A = this chain, B = another copy of it.
Amino acid sequence: MSQLEAVLAKIDANLDASLERLFEFLRIPSISTDSAYKDDCRRAAEWLANDVKALGFEDAGLRSTGGHPVVLGHAPKPGKRHVMFYGHYDVQPVDPLNLWETPPFEPRITTLPDGRKVITARGACDDKGQVMTFLEACRAWKEVTGSLPVGITLLVEGAEEDGSKFLPEFVEANKDELKSDVVLVCDTGMWDGDTPMITTALRGMVYEEVIVRCANRDLHSGLFGGGAANPIRILARIIADLHDADGRVTLDGFYDGVPETPTQVLEQWKGLGLTEESFLGPIGLSIPAGEKGRMLIEQVQSRPTCDANGVIGGYTGEGAKTVIAAEASAKVSFRLVGDQDPEKISAAFKRHCEARIPADCSVEFVKHKGSRAIQLPYDMPELTAARTALQEEWGKAPVTLGSGGSIPIVGDFKRTLGVDSLLVGFGLDDDRVHSPNEKYDLKSFHKGARSWARILARLAE
């Protein structure tokens, strides 16, 4: 039996114990965006630091930031490649709580109607389950061989769901300590339940909130209707005008810096079998809603998008109230690709809104996020190593594709540390990440750990 085979056998044998560990981690409600859970976030960080101390990260501990602490540890391996693993121990809020079928912080294994066994809990996939796939691979290597196959720095933050606000300055302040040859990130998904994926591009993001204010109080529409400006009508115009009839975003200069996907890549994508039926069918839809003349896979992968994420104004209770609201507001976000400039797009959005505000009304903006898109190089030796390892574990070549999601810190790793990231994750489209009843397939967890064990072996070569 080769060393790697022994490590993989150890992962198989350890599965029950590793689930126990994951469940302990999942029971801590480390919601980073809600200050009521501040102590729980710290508790999750401490749990993690304790767990990894025995794996070769002898100095693992908590490090302060402006917000929740990061867990940082080092396991050097002179003469070998040094990698930095990045993940996050914080989770999304759980509301609406009444839609959870089981309590979000009481993890359990359940069986789906199609027979899949899944781990159900907030954070099961995003990102506690994914982080633990890497740590279980490390544990098996350590138990079988006494050490890790490559040098590793572990950096697990506690504010990813809050925009990683303080991490860039932490990375900047500790850039010598964080030196590595490549960053490994486990916060992305598979192509499907049988096909692994390496994410080679991430969309950027602009997230804005707009508040339209008209009269100085709510009005009776019977007395003032027809004479007084209505903020819902103004806001509806602002949102409706963000797209033209062809589904293109209308902001000035929005498509500046958006590259055309090369023909050979489009041809490759056509062969992937991402269809209306396979992609939209499970969510109850059938018609691609993006830009006309683009394949669905382009709409969700390589094209920039705009979505209103929330809107509220006026009377929203039961029954009828004849009110003209004093104000109405919306949250609007844009996913960016290529060289789109978040600052320019944010400014164009503000001009778009201001142009639609009557002179006697006003508008306020709240900025939530802004980050550029990221494209990873196709010629990284680590990409080849990971591709081979994943093929060996899953029996299928991994898909290398851009992701619709955003992980802004990957851009900071490149800018500040000069290091590229390798994004390998085992999430699935139906994991309900950010929604009630989040889950992570048991297969993703088990084979995810096996995949990392193989990748570490390849990176050691």
Please give the residue numbers on chain A whose beta carbons come within 8 Å of chain B beta carbons, in ascending order: 33-34, 92-93, 95, 162-163, 189, 203, 205, 207, 209, 214-230, 232-233, 235-243, 279-280, 283-291, 296, 299-300, 303-305, 307-325, 328-331, 333, 335, 358-361, 368-369, 403-406, 429, 432-436
Bound Cα distance from A280 to B329, whole angstroms: 22
Assess whether B93 is in contact with A406, with CB atoms less than 8 Å apart. no
Assess whether A287 is in contact with B360, with CB atoms less than 8 Å apart. yes
Chain B residues near A209 (CB-CB < 8 A): 320
30 contacts between A and B (CB under 8 A): A33-B318, A33-B319, A163-B320, A215-B284, A216-B283, A219-B435, A220-B435, A221-B333, A221-B335, A222-B405, A223-B429, A224-B300, A226-B300, A227-B280, A227-B289, A227-B296, A227-B299, A228-B289, A230-B307, A235-B236, A236-B236, A236-B311, A237-B240, A287-B359, A309-B314, A311-B314, A314-B331, A316-B331, A319-B368, A322-B406
Looking at the assembled complex, report how far the CB atom of A99 sits from the nearest CB atom of chain B, in whole angstroms.
8
Chain B residues near A305 (CB-CB < 8 A): 221, 225-226
Chain B residues near A33 (CB-CB < 8 A): 318-321
Chain B residues near A335 (CB-CB < 8 A): 221-222, 225-226
Chain B residues near A312 (CB-CB < 8 A): 311-313, 316
Residue among B207, B232, B299, B308 making CB contact with A314, cutoff 8 Å: B308
Q: How many copies altogether?
A: 2
Assess whether A220 is in contact with B285, with CB atoms less than 8 Å apart. no
Closest to A92 in B: B321
Given A207-B320, A240-B241, A335-B225, CB of A230 within 8 Å of CB of B288: no
Bound Cα distance from A361 to B286, whole angstroms: 9
Chain B residues near A237 (CB-CB < 8 A): 236, 240
Closest CB pairs A-B (n = 8): A222-B405, A216-B284, A310-B314, A236-B239, A226-B305, A320-B368, A240-B240, A232-B308
Given A240-B237, A316-B312, A320-B163, CB of A404 within 8 Å of CB of B219: no
Bound Cα distance from A447 to B100, whole angstroms: 59
Bound Cα distance from A261 to B287, whole angstroms: 48
Assess whether B221 is in contact with A309, with CB atoms less than 8 Å apart. yes
Assess whether A308 is in contact with B233, with CB atoms less than 8 Å apart. yes
Chain B residues near A241 (CB-CB < 8 A): 240
